[in-house]
Chain A
Protein backbone atom coordinates (compact mmCIF):
# COMPACT_ATOMS: atom_id res chain seq x y z
CA UNK A 1 0.00 0.00 0.00
CA UNK A 2 1.70 3.18 -1.18
CA UNK A 3 0.41 6.45 0.27
CA UNK A 4 1.22 8.39 -2.90
CA UNK A 5 -1.27 6.34 -4.91
CA UNK A 6 -4.07 7.96 -2.99
CA UNK A 7 -4.79 11.38 -4.40
CA UNK A 8 -7.07 12.37 -1.47
CA UNK A 9 -4.22 11.79 0.95
CA UNK A 10 -2.04 14.09 -1.12
CA UNK A 11 -4.59 16.88 -0.78
CA UNK A 12 -4.73 16.34 2.97
CA UNK A 13 -0.96 16.20 3.17
CA UNK A 14 -0.54 19.48 1.25
CA UNK A 15 -3.17 21.23 3.36
CA UNK A 16 -1.55 19.82 6.50
CA UNK A 17 1.89 21.11 5.59
CA UNK A 18 0.55 24.59 4.80
CA UNK A 19 -1.29 24.78 8.12
CA UNK A 20 1.80 23.40 9.90
CA UNK A 21 3.78 26.34 8.51
CA UNK A 22 1.40 29.10 9.56
CA UNK A 23 0.23 27.78 12.95
CA UNK A 24 3.50 28.51 14.85
CA UNK A 25 3.85 31.92 13.18
CA UNK A 26 0.69 33.06 14.91
CA UNK A 27 1.18 30.71 17.84
CA UNK A 28 4.43 32.27 19.04
CA UNK A 29 2.76 35.64 19.61
CA UNK A 30 -0.29 34.06 21.26
CA UNK A 31 1.81 31.92 23.61
CA UNK A 32 4.12 34.77 24.62
CA UNK A 33 1.18 37.09 25.22
CA UNK A 34 -0.43 34.39 27.41
CA UNK A 35 -3.28 34.22 24.91
CA UNK A 36 -3.04 30.46 24.31
CA UNK A 37 -6.67 29.91 25.22
CA UNK A 38 -7.81 32.20 22.43
CA UNK A 39 -7.01 29.51 19.88
CA UNK A 40 -9.19 27.06 21.76
CA UNK A 41 -12.01 29.58 22.09
CA UNK A 42 -11.94 30.44 18.42
CA UNK A 43 -11.92 26.74 17.56
CA UNK A 44 -15.19 26.31 19.42
CA UNK A 45 -16.58 29.35 17.66
CA UNK A 46 -15.62 27.77 14.34
CA UNK A 47 -17.83 24.81 15.26
CA UNK A 48 -20.78 27.17 15.52
CA UNK A 49 -19.77 28.48 12.10
CA UNK A 50 -19.73 24.96 10.72
CA UNK A 51 -23.19 24.33 12.16
CA UNK A 52 -24.45 27.45 10.39
CA UNK A 53 -22.93 26.12 7.18
CA UNK A 54 -24.58 22.71 7.60
CA UNK A 55 -27.91 24.39 8.35
CA UNK A 56 -27.86 26.86 5.48
CA UNK A 57 -26.09 24.76 2.88
CA UNK A 58 -23.25 27.27 2.52
CA UNK A 59 -19.76 25.76 2.55
CA UNK A 60 -18.81 25.21 6.22
CA UNK A 61 -15.27 26.41 5.48
CA UNK A 62 -16.66 29.84 4.55
CA UNK A 63 -19.13 30.05 7.45
CA UNK A 64 -16.55 28.98 10.01
CA UNK A 65 -14.11 31.57 8.66
CA UNK A 66 -16.76 34.25 8.98
CA UNK A 67 -17.85 33.18 12.45
CA UNK A 68 -14.31 33.03 13.88
CA UNK A 69 -13.26 36.37 12.44
CA UNK A 70 -16.39 38.11 13.77
CA UNK A 71 -16.10 36.39 17.14
CA UNK A 72 -12.41 37.25 17.38
CA UNK A 73 -13.29 40.92 17.12
CA UNK A 74 -15.94 40.45 19.81
CA UNK A 75 -13.50 38.70 22.14
CA UNK A 76 -10.93 41.46 21.71
CA UNK A 77 -13.54 44.14 22.29
CA UNK A 78 -14.87 42.50 25.44
CA UNK A 79 -11.35 41.84 26.71
CA UNK A 80 -10.14 45.41 26.25
CA UNK A 81 -13.33 46.96 27.62
CA UNK A 82 -12.23 45.59 31.03
CA UNK A 83 -15.88 45.14 32.04
CA UNK A 84 -15.24 41.38 31.97
CA UNK A 85 -11.99 39.64 33.01
CA UNK A 86 -9.94 38.54 30.01
CA UNK A 87 -10.27 34.81 30.62
CA UNK A 88 -13.95 35.14 31.52
CA UNK A 89 -14.52 36.78 28.14
CA UNK A 90 -12.95 33.71 26.57
CA UNK A 91 -15.09 31.37 28.65
CA UNK A 92 -18.24 33.23 27.55
CA UNK A 93 -17.36 32.83 23.91
CA UNK A 94 -16.12 29.27 24.27
CA UNK A 95 -19.17 27.84 26.02
CA UNK A 96 -21.60 30.18 24.27
CA UNK A 97 -20.50 29.20 20.80
CA UNK A 98 -20.45 25.52 21.71
CA UNK A 99 -24.03 25.83 22.97
CA UNK A 100 -25.03 27.62 19.78
CA UNK A 101 -23.30 24.94 17.71
CA UNK A 102 -25.17 22.13 19.49
CA UNK A 103 -28.54 23.82 19.09
CA UNK A 104 -27.95 24.60 15.42
CA UNK A 105 -26.68 21.08 14.74
CA UNK A 106 -29.75 19.55 16.34
CA UNK A 107 -31.87 21.79 14.10
CA UNK A 108 -29.90 20.66 11.06
CA UNK A 109 -30.01 17.02 12.17
CA UNK A 110 -26.24 17.26 11.90
CA UNK A 111 -25.22 14.76 14.56
CA UNK A 112 -23.66 12.30 12.15
CA UNK A 113 -20.29 11.24 10.79
CA UNK A 114 -20.04 14.58 9.04
CA UNK A 115 -19.87 16.26 12.44
CA UNK A 116 -17.22 13.83 13.65
CA UNK A 117 -15.06 14.90 10.69
CA UNK A 118 -15.18 18.46 11.89
CA UNK A 119 -14.63 17.60 15.52
CA UNK A 120 -11.64 15.33 15.01
CA UNK A 121 -10.38 16.32 11.59
CA UNK A 122 -10.55 14.34 8.41
CA UNK A 123 -7.76 14.89 5.94
CA UNK A 124 -9.30 12.46 3.46
CA UNK A 125 -12.18 14.86 2.86
CA UNK A 126 -9.87 17.73 1.85
CA UNK A 127 -10.57 18.70 -1.76
CA UNK A 128 -8.25 20.42 -4.20
CA UNK A 129 -10.44 23.52 -3.80
CA UNK A 130 -9.82 23.47 -0.04
CA UNK A 131 -6.08 23.25 -0.68
CA UNK A 132 -6.18 26.36 -2.86
CA UNK A 133 -8.25 28.26 -0.30
CA UNK A 134 -5.91 27.23 2.53
CA UNK A 135 -2.87 28.15 0.46
CA UNK A 136 -4.29 31.55 -0.48
CA UNK A 137 -5.16 32.52 3.09
CA UNK A 138 -1.88 31.11 4.39
CA UNK A 139 0.00 33.39 2.01
CA UNK A 140 -2.01 36.31 3.39
CA UNK A 141 -1.10 35.31 6.97
CA UNK A 142 2.61 35.01 6.14
CA UNK A 143 2.70 38.36 4.33
CA UNK A 144 0.83 40.21 7.10
CA UNK A 145 3.08 38.77 9.82
CA UNK A 146 6.27 39.62 7.96
CA UNK A 147 5.01 43.16 7.32
CA UNK A 148 4.14 43.79 10.97
CA UNK A 149 6.78 41.59 12.56
CA UNK A 150 8.51 44.48 14.36
CA UNK A 151 5.32 45.88 15.80
CA UNK A 152 3.99 42.48 16.88
CA UNK A 153 7.30 41.58 18.53
CA UNK A 154 7.58 44.86 20.45
CA UNK A 155 3.95 44.80 21.58
CA UNK A 156 4.24 41.17 22.66
CA UNK A 157 7.42 41.86 24.64
CA UNK A 158 6.44 45.13 26.29
CA UNK A 159 3.03 46.53 25.42
CA UNK A 160 3.43 49.75 27.42
CA UNK A 161 6.81 50.67 26.03
CA UNK A 162 5.53 49.90 22.54
CA UNK A 163 2.64 52.26 23.09
CA UNK A 164 4.96 55.00 24.32
CA UNK A 165 7.02 54.41 21.18
CA UNK A 166 3.90 55.30 19.20
CA UNK A 167 2.99 51.78 18.03
CA UNK A 168 -0.66 51.16 17.17
CA UNK A 169 -1.11 48.66 20.00
CA UNK A 170 -4.85 48.08 19.73
CA UNK A 171 -4.82 47.72 15.97
CA UNK A 172 -2.00 45.21 16.19
CA UNK A 173 -3.78 43.17 18.87
CA UNK A 174 -6.87 43.10 16.68
CA UNK A 175 -4.80 42.10 13.68
CA UNK A 176 -3.21 39.25 15.64
CA UNK A 177 -6.55 37.89 16.77
CA UNK A 178 -7.95 38.04 13.23
CA UNK A 179 -4.90 36.11 12.02
CA UNK A 180 -5.55 33.56 14.77
CA UNK A 181 -9.12 33.22 13.56
CA UNK A 182 -7.88 32.53 10.02
CA UNK A 183 -5.40 29.90 11.18
CA UNK A 184 -7.99 28.19 13.36
CA UNK A 185 -10.50 27.95 10.51
CA UNK A 186 -7.90 26.61 8.12
CA UNK A 187 -6.74 23.96 10.59
CA UNK A 188 -10.19 22.36 11.05
CA UNK A 189 -9.86 19.70 8.33
CA UNK A 190 -6.39 18.70 9.54
CA UNK A 191 -6.80 18.12 13.27
CA UNK A 192 -10.44 19.00 13.90
CA UNK A 193 -12.01 21.64 16.10
CA UNK A 194 -11.03 19.98 19.38
CA UNK A 195 -7.30 19.76 18.67
CA UNK A 196 -6.58 23.03 16.87
CA UNK A 197 -5.13 24.82 19.85
CA UNK A 198 -2.59 22.01 20.20
CA UNK A 199 -1.34 22.72 16.69
CA UNK A 200 -0.98 26.43 17.46
CA UNK A 201 0.49 26.10 20.95
CA UNK A 202 2.54 22.90 21.42
CA UNK A 203 5.28 23.39 18.77
CA UNK A 204 5.90 26.89 20.13
CA UNK A 205 5.96 25.77 23.76
CA UNK A 206 8.37 22.96 22.82
CA UNK A 207 10.65 25.34 20.88
CA UNK A 208 10.64 27.82 23.77
CA UNK A 209 12.23 25.15 25.98
CA UNK A 210 15.33 25.35 23.79
CA UNK A 211 15.91 28.96 24.91
CA UNK A 212 17.02 30.41 21.58
CA UNK A 213 16.48 33.87 20.15
CA UNK A 214 13.16 34.86 18.63
CA UNK A 215 13.83 33.92 15.01
CA UNK A 216 15.40 30.59 15.94
CA UNK A 217 12.51 29.82 18.28
CA UNK A 218 10.13 30.30 15.35
CA UNK A 219 12.38 28.16 13.17
CA UNK A 220 12.44 25.27 15.66
CA UNK A 221 8.68 25.55 16.17
CA UNK A 222 8.28 25.29 12.39
CA UNK A 223 10.48 22.20 12.23
CA UNK A 224 8.56 20.51 15.07
CA UNK A 225 5.22 21.48 13.55
CA UNK A 226 5.97 20.40 9.97
CA UNK A 227 7.69 17.19 11.05
CA UNK A 228 4.77 16.23 13.33
CA UNK A 229 2.15 16.86 10.65
CA UNK A 230 3.97 14.91 7.93
CA UNK A 231 4.96 12.04 10.23
CA UNK A 232 1.52 12.03 11.82
CA UNK A 233 -0.26 11.73 8.48
CA UNK A 234 2.05 8.90 7.30
CA UNK A 235 1.77 6.97 10.56
CA UNK A 236 -1.99 7.38 10.70
CA UNK A 237 -2.28 6.19 7.10
CA UNK A 238 -0.27 3.03 7.53
CA UNK A 239 -1.66 2.15 10.96
CA UNK A 240 -5.20 3.32 10.23
CA UNK A 241 -5.30 5.85 13.08
CA UNK A 242 -6.84 9.29 13.44
CA UNK A 243 -4.47 11.75 11.76
CA UNK A 244 -5.30 14.66 14.07
CA UNK A 245 -4.76 12.66 17.24
CA UNK A 246 -1.51 11.15 15.94
CA UNK A 247 -0.14 14.58 14.96
CA UNK A 248 -0.88 16.08 18.36
CA UNK A 249 0.54 13.07 20.24
CA UNK A 250 3.75 13.36 18.20
CA UNK A 251 4.02 17.05 19.05
CA UNK A 252 3.51 16.27 22.72
CA UNK A 253 6.16 13.53 22.56
CA UNK A 254 8.66 16.01 21.07
CA UNK A 255 7.78 18.53 23.77
CA UNK A 256 8.41 16.00 26.53
CA UNK A 257 11.69 14.82 25.01
CA UNK A 258 12.98 18.39 24.82
CA UNK A 259 11.65 19.17 28.28
CA UNK A 260 13.34 16.16 29.87
CA UNK A 261 16.68 16.79 28.12
CA UNK A 262 16.64 20.47 29.09
CA UNK A 263 15.54 20.00 32.69
CA UNK A 264 17.38 16.92 33.84
Chain B
Protein backbone atom coordinates (compact mmCIF):
# COMPACT_ATOMS: atom_id res chain seq x y z
CA UNK B 1 0.00 0.00 0.00
CA UNK B 2 1.32 3.44 -0.91
CA UNK B 3 0.54 6.30 1.37
CA UNK B 4 0.17 9.70 -0.21
CA UNK B 5 1.14 12.79 1.73
CA UNK B 6 -2.47 13.73 2.46
CA UNK B 7 -2.98 10.33 4.04
CA UNK B 8 -0.36 11.00 6.68
CA UNK B 9 -2.83 13.34 8.38
CA UNK B 10 -5.22 10.43 8.59
CA UNK B 11 -2.51 8.21 10.02
CA UNK B 12 -1.49 10.79 12.58
CA UNK B 13 -5.11 11.22 13.57
CA UNK B 14 -5.47 7.46 13.95
CA UNK B 15 -2.31 7.36 16.03
CA UNK B 16 -3.58 10.14 18.26
CA UNK B 17 -6.91 8.36 18.73
CA UNK B 18 -5.10 5.18 19.78
CA UNK B 19 -3.02 7.13 22.32
CA UNK B 20 -6.17 8.81 23.68
CA UNK B 21 -7.89 5.45 23.86
CA UNK B 22 -4.98 4.01 25.84
CA UNK B 23 -5.12 6.93 28.29
CA UNK B 24 -8.86 6.56 28.59
CA UNK B 25 -8.81 2.82 29.29
CA UNK B 26 -6.20 3.36 31.99
CA UNK B 27 -8.79 5.23 34.01
CA UNK B 28 -10.85 2.09 34.45
CA UNK B 29 -8.16 -0.37 35.50
CA UNK B 30 -5.73 -0.62 38.38
CA UNK B 31 -2.08 -1.23 37.56
CA UNK B 32 -2.80 -2.46 34.08
CA UNK B 33 -1.19 0.34 32.08
CA UNK B 34 1.67 -1.87 30.81
CA UNK B 35 -0.78 -4.54 29.71
CA UNK B 36 -3.06 -2.01 28.03
CA UNK B 37 -0.12 -0.54 26.14
CA UNK B 38 0.90 -4.02 25.03
CA UNK B 39 -2.65 -4.66 23.83
CA UNK B 40 -2.59 -1.47 21.76
CA UNK B 41 0.76 -2.43 20.26
CA UNK B 42 -0.30 -6.05 19.65
CA UNK B 43 -3.46 -4.89 17.88
CA UNK B 44 -1.56 -2.34 15.78
CA UNK B 45 1.19 -4.83 14.91
CA UNK B 46 -1.43 -7.55 14.38
CA UNK B 47 0.51 -9.94 16.58
CA UNK B 48 -1.15 -12.30 19.05
CA UNK B 49 -0.84 -11.69 22.77
CA UNK B 50 -1.08 -14.12 25.66
CA UNK B 51 -2.18 -13.26 29.19
CA UNK B 52 -0.96 -15.54 31.93
CA UNK B 53 -2.34 -15.35 35.40
CA UNK B 54 -4.54 -16.73 38.10
CA UNK B 55 -8.31 -16.65 37.59
CA UNK B 56 -9.83 -13.32 38.60
CA UNK B 57 -6.98 -11.09 37.51
CA UNK B 58 -8.95 -9.23 34.82
CA UNK B 59 -7.60 -11.12 31.81
CA UNK B 60 -10.87 -11.47 29.94
CA UNK B 61 -12.17 -8.16 31.28
CA UNK B 62 -9.26 -6.33 29.64
CA UNK B 63 -10.02 -7.85 26.25
CA UNK B 64 -13.75 -7.43 26.53
CA UNK B 65 -13.50 -3.75 27.56
CA UNK B 66 -10.87 -3.15 24.86
CA UNK B 67 -13.28 -4.47 22.21
CA UNK B 68 -16.32 -2.67 23.64
CA UNK B 69 -14.44 0.60 23.66
CA UNK B 70 -13.70 0.20 19.97
CA UNK B 71 -17.43 -0.18 19.32
CA UNK B 72 -17.00 -3.54 17.65
CA UNK B 73 -19.98 -5.41 16.28
CA UNK B 74 -20.85 -8.70 17.91
CA UNK B 75 -19.83 -10.75 14.86
CA UNK B 76 -16.44 -9.11 14.74
CA UNK B 77 -15.48 -10.40 18.18
CA UNK B 78 -15.13 -14.10 19.00
CA UNK B 79 -14.56 -15.34 22.52
CA UNK B 80 -14.34 -18.95 23.62
CA UNK B 81 -13.06 -20.99 26.54
CA UNK B 82 -11.19 -24.08 25.41
CA UNK B 83 -11.16 -27.42 27.16
CA UNK B 84 -9.41 -30.61 26.16
CA UNK B 85 -12.75 -31.78 24.73
CA UNK B 86 -13.32 -28.70 22.56
CA UNK B 87 -13.60 -29.71 18.94
CA UNK B 88 -12.83 -27.64 15.84
CA UNK B 89 -16.55 -27.09 15.09
CA UNK B 90 -16.90 -25.00 18.24
CA UNK B 91 -14.16 -22.66 17.05
CA UNK B 92 -14.46 -22.77 13.28
CA UNK B 93 -18.22 -23.22 13.05
CA UNK B 94 -20.35 -26.34 12.65
CA UNK B 95 -20.46 -28.39 9.48
CA UNK B 96 -23.31 -27.26 7.21
CA UNK B 97 -25.64 -30.27 7.15
CA UNK B 98 -27.53 -29.14 4.04
CA UNK B 99 -24.27 -28.77 2.12
CA UNK B 100 -23.08 -32.10 3.48
CA UNK B 101 -26.18 -33.78 2.03
CA UNK B 102 -25.07 -32.39 -1.30
CA UNK B 103 -21.62 -33.91 -0.79
CA UNK B 104 -19.84 -30.73 0.25
CA UNK B 105 -17.97 -30.45 3.54
CA UNK B 106 -18.41 -26.78 4.43
CA UNK B 107 -18.55 -25.01 7.75
CA UNK B 108 -21.04 -22.33 8.77
CA UNK B 109 -18.37 -19.89 9.86
CA UNK B 110 -20.51 -16.84 10.71
CA UNK B 111 -20.00 -15.77 14.30
CA UNK B 112 -16.94 -17.98 14.73
CA UNK B 113 -13.18 -17.53 14.52
CA UNK B 114 -12.98 -17.38 10.68
CA UNK B 115 -15.12 -14.22 10.60
CA UNK B 116 -13.79 -12.52 13.74
CA UNK B 117 -11.57 -9.45 13.68
CA UNK B 118 -10.57 -9.86 17.29
CA UNK B 119 -10.58 -13.23 19.03
CA UNK B 120 -10.11 -14.13 22.65
CA UNK B 121 -9.37 -17.75 23.50
CA UNK B 122 -9.39 -18.52 27.18
CA UNK B 123 -7.38 -21.48 28.49
CA UNK B 124 -5.67 -21.78 25.12
CA UNK B 125 -3.23 -24.44 26.28
CA UNK B 126 -6.10 -26.80 27.00
CA UNK B 127 -6.53 -27.08 23.23
CA UNK B 128 -6.13 -30.51 21.67
CA UNK B 129 -4.03 -31.19 18.59
CA UNK B 130 -6.94 -30.76 16.14
CA UNK B 131 -7.57 -27.23 17.45
CA UNK B 132 -3.85 -26.46 17.60
CA UNK B 133 -3.39 -27.08 13.89
CA UNK B 134 -6.31 -24.83 13.02
CA UNK B 135 -5.06 -22.08 15.33
CA UNK B 136 -1.52 -22.14 13.99
CA UNK B 137 -2.80 -21.66 10.45
CA UNK B 138 -5.15 -18.86 11.46
CA UNK B 139 -2.54 -17.00 13.54
CA UNK B 140 0.37 -17.43 11.21
CA UNK B 141 -1.07 -17.46 7.76
CA UNK B 142 -4.36 -15.67 8.43
CA UNK B 143 -6.36 -18.32 6.60
CA UNK B 144 -8.55 -21.36 7.13
CA UNK B 145 -9.65 -24.20 4.89
CA UNK B 146 -13.06 -24.98 3.40
CA UNK B 147 -13.02 -28.24 1.46
CA UNK B 148 -9.26 -27.99 1.14
CA UNK B 149 -9.37 -24.47 -0.25
CA UNK B 150 -7.60 -21.75 1.73
CA UNK B 151 -9.76 -18.75 2.56
CA UNK B 152 -8.56 -15.56 4.24
CA UNK B 153 -9.63 -14.60 7.74
CA UNK B 154 -10.15 -10.94 8.68
CA UNK B 155 -8.46 -11.48 12.06
CA UNK B 156 -6.64 -8.37 13.25
CA UNK B 157 -5.53 -9.58 16.63
CA UNK B 158 -5.83 -12.68 18.75
CA UNK B 159 -5.73 -12.50 22.49
CA UNK B 160 -5.45 -15.62 24.58
CA UNK B 161 -5.27 -16.43 28.24
CA UNK B 162 -4.00 -19.25 30.35
CA UNK B 163 -3.29 -20.04 33.98
CA UNK B 164 -0.06 -21.72 33.00
CA UNK B 165 2.30 -22.28 30.11
CA UNK B 166 2.85 -25.99 29.66
CA UNK B 167 6.27 -27.37 28.87
CA UNK B 168 5.01 -30.05 26.47
CA UNK B 169 6.72 -30.02 23.10
CA UNK B 170 3.44 -30.07 21.18
CA UNK B 171 2.76 -26.49 22.33
CA UNK B 172 6.16 -25.13 21.31
CA UNK B 173 4.95 -23.85 17.94
CA UNK B 174 1.92 -22.16 19.48
CA UNK B 175 4.02 -20.62 22.27
CA UNK B 176 6.43 -19.23 19.71
CA UNK B 177 3.57 -17.55 17.84
CA UNK B 178 2.63 -15.63 20.96
CA UNK B 179 5.61 -13.32 21.12
CA UNK B 180 4.05 -11.26 23.89
CA UNK B 181 3.30 -13.21 27.04
CA UNK B 182 2.29 -10.96 29.90
CA UNK B 183 1.48 -11.93 33.43
CA UNK B 184 -1.60 -10.45 35.09
CA UNK B 185 -0.69 -10.11 38.74
CA UNK B 186 -3.24 -9.61 41.51
CA UNK B 187 -3.34 -6.05 42.87
CA UNK B 188 -5.12 -6.89 46.12
CA UNK B 189 -2.11 -6.32 48.34
CA UNK B 190 -0.96 -3.04 46.83
CA UNK B 191 -4.36 -1.45 46.13
CA UNK B 192 -6.76 -3.01 48.61
CA UNK B 193 -9.37 -0.23 48.87
CA UNK B 194 -9.01 1.06 45.33
CA UNK B 195 -9.56 -2.46 44.06
CA UNK B 196 -12.90 -2.74 45.85
CA UNK B 197 -14.01 0.67 44.61
CA UNK B 198 -12.95 0.03 41.02
CA UNK B 199 -14.47 -3.45 41.01
CA UNK B 200 -17.80 -2.27 42.36
CA UNK B 201 -17.87 0.59 39.83
CA UNK B 202 -17.42 -1.97 37.08
CA UNK B 203 -20.27 -4.11 38.45
CA UNK B 204 -22.57 -1.09 38.59
CA UNK B 205 -21.72 -0.06 35.05
CA UNK B 206 -22.38 -3.55 33.74
CA UNK B 207 -25.70 -3.62 35.59
CA UNK B 208 -26.68 -0.21 34.22
CA UNK B 209 -25.39 -1.17 30.77
CA UNK B 210 -23.03 1.78 30.75
CA UNK B 211 -19.89 1.74 28.66
CA UNK B 212 -17.98 4.89 29.54
CA UNK B 213 -14.83 3.45 27.94
CA UNK B 214 -16.38 3.83 24.48
CA UNK B 215 -14.18 6.05 22.39
CA UNK B 216 -13.95 7.46 18.89
CA UNK B 217 -11.05 5.11 18.22
CA UNK B 218 -12.01 2.13 16.07
CA UNK B 219 -10.37 -1.04 14.92
CA UNK B 220 -9.89 0.65 11.54
CA UNK B 221 -7.43 3.03 13.23
CA UNK B 222 -5.31 0.05 14.26
CA UNK B 223 -5.53 -1.41 10.75
CA UNK B 224 -4.51 1.92 9.21
CA UNK B 225 -1.51 2.26 11.53
CA UNK B 226 -0.52 -1.35 10.87
CA UNK B 227 -0.61 -0.87 7.10
CA UNK B 228 1.48 2.28 7.36
CA UNK B 229 4.04 0.76 9.73
CA UNK B 230 4.46 -2.38 7.63
CA UNK B 231 4.52 -0.66 4.26
CA UNK B 232 6.45 2.52 5.09
CA UNK B 233 7.98 2.74 8.58
CA UNK B 234 9.63 -0.69 8.82
CA UNK B 235 11.09 -0.82 5.29
CA UNK B 236 12.65 2.61 5.85
CA UNK B 237 13.93 1.66 9.31
CA UNK B 238 15.78 -1.44 8.18
CA UNK B 239 17.62 0.58 5.54
CA UNK B 240 19.54 2.29 8.31
CA UNK B 241 23.06 1.39 9.29
CA UNK B 242 23.44 -1.69 11.53
CA UNK B 243 24.49 0.38 14.51
CA UNK B 244 21.33 2.47 14.41
CA UNK B 245 18.77 -0.01 13.16
CA UNK B 246 16.52 1.02 16.05
CA UNK B 247 17.21 4.69 15.40
CA UNK B 248 19.60 5.33 18.29
CA UNK B 249 23.03 3.76 18.72
CA UNK B 250 22.78 3.24 22.49
CA UNK B 251 19.31 1.75 22.21
CA UNK B 252 20.39 -0.55 19.37
CA UNK B 253 23.40 -1.72 21.40
CA UNK B 254 21.20 -2.31 24.44
CA UNK B 255 18.69 -4.24 22.32
CA UNK B 256 21.41 -6.53 20.99
CA UNK B 257 22.93 -6.98 24.42
CA UNK B 258 19.62 -7.90 26.02
CA UNK B 259 18.81 -10.39 23.27
CA UNK B 260 22.23 -12.02 23.80
CA UNK B 261 21.79 -12.20 27.57
CA UNK B 262 18.28 -13.60 27.19
CA UNK B 263 19.42 -16.30 24.80
CA UNK B 264 22.84 -17.21 26.19
CA UNK B 265 22.60 -16.57 29.90
CA UNK B 266 18.94 -16.62 30.83
CA UNK B 267 18.29 -19.52 28.44
CA UNK B 268 15.20 -17.93 26.90
CA UNK B 269 14.62 -19.33 23.45
CA UNK B 270 14.88 -16.50 20.93
CA UNK B 271 13.95 -17.92 17.57
CA UNK B 272 14.65 -16.04 14.36
CA UNK B 273 10.94 -15.39 14.02
CA UNK B 274 10.77 -14.01 17.55
CA UNK B 275 13.63 -11.59 16.91
CA UNK B 276 11.97 -10.21 13.78
CA UNK B 277 8.60 -9.87 15.53
CA UNK B 278 10.19 -8.17 18.52
CA UNK B 279 11.76 -5.60 16.23
CA UNK B 280 8.39 -5.03 14.58
CA UNK B 281 6.62 -4.66 17.93
CA UNK B 282 9.23 -2.23 19.26
CA UNK B 283 9.04 -0.08 16.15
CA UNK B 284 5.24 -0.17 16.21
CA UNK B 285 5.13 0.99 19.82
CA UNK B 286 7.63 3.73 19.03
CA UNK B 287 5.50 4.85 16.09
CA UNK B 288 2.27 5.00 18.09
CA UNK B 289 3.45 6.34 21.43
CA UNK B 290 6.75 8.07 20.83
CA UNK B 291 6.72 9.67 17.41
CA UNK B 292 8.88 6.88 15.99
CA UNK B 293 11.73 7.27 18.50
CA UNK B 294 12.79 4.06 20.18
CA UNK B 295 13.71 4.60 23.83
CA UNK B 296 14.09 2.30 26.81
CA UNK B 297 10.29 2.41 27.19
CA UNK B 298 9.96 0.60 23.87
CA UNK B 299 12.66 -1.93 24.80
CA UNK B 300 10.49 -2.94 27.76
CA UNK B 301 8.58 -5.10 25.28
CA UNK B 302 11.51 -7.51 25.67
CA UNK B 303 10.27 -8.16 29.22
CA UNK B 304 7.39 -10.09 27.71
CA UNK B 305 9.19 -12.34 25.26
CA UNK B 306 9.72 -15.32 27.57
CA UNK B 307 8.68 -18.76 26.49
CA UNK B 308 7.41 -20.25 29.70
CA UNK B 309 6.11 -19.17 33.06
CA UNK B 310 9.45 -19.05 34.83
CA UNK B 311 10.93 -17.00 31.94
CA UNK B 312 8.18 -14.41 32.17
CA UNK B 313 8.82 -13.71 35.85
CA UNK B 314 12.58 -14.04 35.64
CA UNK B 315 13.27 -11.72 32.75
CA UNK B 316 10.89 -8.90 33.63
CA UNK B 317 12.81 -7.77 36.69
CA UNK B 318 16.14 -8.38 35.02
CA UNK B 319 15.38 -6.27 31.96
CA UNK B 320 13.66 -3.46 33.83
CA UNK B 321 16.64 -3.18 36.17
CA UNK B 322 19.13 -3.09 33.29
CA UNK B 323 17.11 -0.64 31.22
CA UNK B 324 17.11 1.74 34.17
CA UNK B 325 20.82 2.24 33.46
CA UNK B 326 20.21 3.32 29.90
CA UNK B 327 19.27 6.96 30.44
Whether chains A and B associate is no
Taking Cβ atoms with an 8 Å cutoff, the residues of A that contact B are none
